[in-house]
């Protein structure tokens, strides 16, 4: 552990610069962290970032942005997770939870529990998928298009409903929709009307992450979501030369089955831990 060093910063732009090669080395597994840090570098949203270095080489990364959200961890070795937990605890900083590839998140949660004497509770389990050979579903009426300005309020309503259904961390749905629409990254499936939505992030390292896939209850079980994800994945490959990745909650076997039928292949499993502090703890 003598060669291990953890650097903390609140400068997202510096993280993008210093960790660029590291992030580009695994554009699938690190896409979530990479895209968040890049977004923060161009915004005023605060955050805290930790770079784990071993013998001068970057061996791991943790980000907490916005504040009080679960910190996202890159995959790292167990001893690096131990050093990271010790360093953050030593700062006196209090994490609300962590998320990351299952072995890393579990190791960190265990070490954090020791340092802080807190309970670490699994809050969510997900699977990361990357598209292999795309299989487009047949017989689903409608077409892919970008969300229109006139649909902004509907998109905010759906985004909020998506957060509630999936138990996602609370965030400003209106700001998320506005940013996605401004960048032309929010898409819908139109079958004589708007039926479902999905967002595709800006491609990084040839990878775009599809998320916020939501169909309101009255339009479900008609194949709209699968058709939308397939068409959007095809569009990303054709127009941007990007392959698609996405996360699916393991508690939802239906969505996992749909994505596998479309040609998405499992990459890794992700765990989200919540830390429960004793009453009166710092």
In a shared domain, residues 171 and 249: yes
In a shared domain, residues 115 and 177: no
In a shared domain, residues 13 and 121: yes
Residue 107 lies in a domain: yes
The domain total for the chain is 2
Sign of CA dihedral 147, 148, 154, 159: positive
Residue 281 lies in a domain: no
In a shared domain, residues 91 and 141: no
Phi/psi at 72 (nearest 5 deg)?
-90, 130
Domain range for 242: 134-262
In a shared domain, residues 84 and 186: no
In a shared domain, residues 147 and 258: yes
In a shared domain, residues 13 and 116: yes
- Mean pLDDT in order along the chain per 10 residues (282 residues): 88 96 97 96 93 96 94 98 98 97 98 97 97 97 98 98 87 91 97 98 97 96 97 98 98 96 98 91 58
Spatial contact of 233 and 225, defined as CB atoms under 8 Å apart: no
In a shared domain, residues 146 and 110: no
CATH number of 140's domain? 3.40.630.30
In a shared domain, residues 146 and 253: yes
CA 140 to centroid of chain Cα atoms: 28
Residue 158 lies in a domain: yes
**pLDDT of the residue at 255:** 95
In a shared domain, residues 96 and 167: no
Task: Enter the pTM of the model.
Answer: 0.94
In a shared domain, residues 11 and 109: yes
Starting at the edge strand found earlier in the chain, the sheet holding 71-73 runs: 4-9, 48-54, 57-64, 71-73, 97-101, 264-276, 119-131, 243-249, 207-214, 194-200, 186-190, 143-146
């Amino acid at each position: 552990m003598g060669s291990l060093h953890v650097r903390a910063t609140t400068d997202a732009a510096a993280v993008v610069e210093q960790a660029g090669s590291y992030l580009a080395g695994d554009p699938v597994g690190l896409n979530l962290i990479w895209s968040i840090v890049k977004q923060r570098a161009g915004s005023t949203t605060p955050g805290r970032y930790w770079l784990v270095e071993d013998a001068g080489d970057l061996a791991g990364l943790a980000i907490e942005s916005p504040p009080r959200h679960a910190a996202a961890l890159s995959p790292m070795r167990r001893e690096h997770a131990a050093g990271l937990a010790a360093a953050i605890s030593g700062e006196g900083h209090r994490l609300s939870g962590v998320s990351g590839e299952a072995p890393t998140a579990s190791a960190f949660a265990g070490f954090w529990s020791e340092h802080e004497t807190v309970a670490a509770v699994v809050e969510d389990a997900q699977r990361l998928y990357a598209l292999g050979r795309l299989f487009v579903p047949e017989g689903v009426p409608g077409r892919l298009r970008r969300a229109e300005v006139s649909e902004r309020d509907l998109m905010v309503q759906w985004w909020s409903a998506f957060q509630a259904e999936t138990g996602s961390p609370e965030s400003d749905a209106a700001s998320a929709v506005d940013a996605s629409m401004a960048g032309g990254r929010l898409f819908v499936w139109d079958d004589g009307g708007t039926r479902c939505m999905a967002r595709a992030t800006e491609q990084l390292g040839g990878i775009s992450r599809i998320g916020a896939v939501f169909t309101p209850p009255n339009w479900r079980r008609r194949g709209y979501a699968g058709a939308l994800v397939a068409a959007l994945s095809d569009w990303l490959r054709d127009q941007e030369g990007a392959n698609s990745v996405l996360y699916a909650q393991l508690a939802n076997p239906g969505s996992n089955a749909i994505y596998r039928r479309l040609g998405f292949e499992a990459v890794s499993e992700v765990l989200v831990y919540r830390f429960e502090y004793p009453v009166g703890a710092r």
